[in-house]
Amino acid sequence: MEAILTDLGEHWPIYLAIPCVAALIGYLTKRVAIALMFHPLNFAGFGRPFGLQGVVPRNAARLAALAAELLSSKLVEPRDLLTRLDADRLYAEVEQPLLTAIDHIARDVLAEQHPAAWESLPPLAQELAVKQIQAAAPHIVRRLLGDLREHADEIIDVKRLVIEQLAGDEVKLTRIVRELSRPEMSAIARSGAWLGFGIGLAQTVVWALTKESFQMPVFGAAIGLFTNWLALRLAFRPREPRTVLGRFTSHGYFHRRRADVAREYGQLIADEVLTVGNLLAAVLRGPRSDRTLALVQCALATAVAEQARAFRPLITATMGAEGIGELKRAAAIKAMPRIPDTTRRATGYLTEAMGVAELIERGVLALPPEEYENLLRPAFEQDRWRLVIVGGIVGAVVGGLPLLMLQ
């Protein structure tokens, strides 16, 4: 013991450096692991065995599929996206651009489909016909919104939309995962420093007893391996709060802040994925757009028929019953690409009324713990062994630093 105390007095900087370096190892290995989660975005190297890409962007397709499955099966019902929309309020938001669109569509369709019949009508009759169709605008909005609600599951494919938005955009997916996990990343880095310091104290005792230089990089590797493994585990375990030693509470970082995660995740998905623009594009140009076209055609036909009874004999006489049917379809086809521009002024109202962020937030809060952690855990679990091994390598390198003080 006397010899140890004498050595401590002579080489106290080394004894002080050992736990401090161990804490540095714990912190640095976590920061390296966190960086490798997201960077580089694109593959860099000379082939898979000799290259590098961030865990999240490399596995974008799988992570996007998991997110899509959770959102479509547990958090977002297509009908819920349309339930809170008010037809009268929506019409008030889009009234002017809608009337302008109807004017152009009516004139274009009639002139293209039946130019002779349309030109044979007196100018006053043409104007009255267009005005009568414009008068049907509120009925068109009301009917179309009602039909969309009734057939929401048939025209809105949430799963496909999420996959298209995330699997094909590694930057967006990486940004969402990084923003959602930022507090966990900071907690993991801090925990690495404290775990490393604790192990460093044990390393100091071993050094005092053995004076074996090789144990420093060995301890460094062990610290990097163990603290990386433990920190990744502590992010999600335990799922429920547990009392340790009768005094301390242990609870996974991610589970501990569920309320914040629910709010942040809902806002991220609302801002980045299930936006008004993306939903409209999926409904109007996606694989189910033929069903949307049928609903638009039905809404136009019903509303216009109700408003234009006085002109029906004249239109029928000049164009025939079959001609009227063709007009309805042609009008619906022309209306489809105009809908995004027509509804652009209502984006604020649509975003607020649909309440995607609130809808997802409530859904996340209602998830059982094992399903809730799937919001983020797959990103951590994917290639976790690589992150642990990198921690060991970095730990061995940094752990050898105190040896320089012995030279």
Domain boundaries, the chain: 2-60+182-257+384-406, 71-167+261-366
Query: Which DSSP category does 73 fall into?
Result: I
Considering only CA atoms, which of 206, 249, 258, 204 is closest in space to residue 376? Answer: 258
Q: Are 284 and 337 in contact (CB under 8 A)?
A: yes
pLDDT, one tens digit per residue, over 329-383 is 788 888 888 888 999 999 999 999 999 999 999 999 999 999 999 898 888 776 6
CA atoms within 13 A on the CB side of 246: 0
For residues 71 and 203, give the distance between their C-alpha atoms in angstroms, rounded to a whole number.
Answer: 47
Contact 312, 145 (CB under 8 A): no
pLDDT tens-place string over residues 86-124: 999 999 999 999 999 989 988 888 788 777 777 877 888
Contacts of 347 (CB under 8 A, 6+ apart): 276, 277
**Long-range own/partner contacts, residues 305-309 (CB < 8 A, 24 or more apart):** 306/136, 306/139, 307/132, 307/133, 307/135, 307/136, 307/139, 308/129, 308/132, 308/133, 308/136
Task: Kindly give the residue spans of alpha helices, DSSP state H, lying in 11-122.
Answer: 12-38, 55-58, 60-70, 78-83, 87-113, 115-120
**Residue 20: C-alpha distances to residues 13, 220, 358, 402 (Å):** 11, 12, 45, 10
- Give how far the C-alpha of residue 337 lies from the chain's centroid of Cα atoms, to the nearest Å: 26
Rounded Cα distance, 18 and 254, in Å = 32
Q: What is the mean pLDDT of each run of 10 residues along the chain (407 residues)?
A: 69 80 81 86 72 86 93 93 92 93 86 77 82 86 91 92 91 92 84 81 79 75 78 82 78 90 96 94 88 86 60 54 66 87 92 94 94 87 73 74 59
Cα gap 103→97, rounded to integer Å: 10
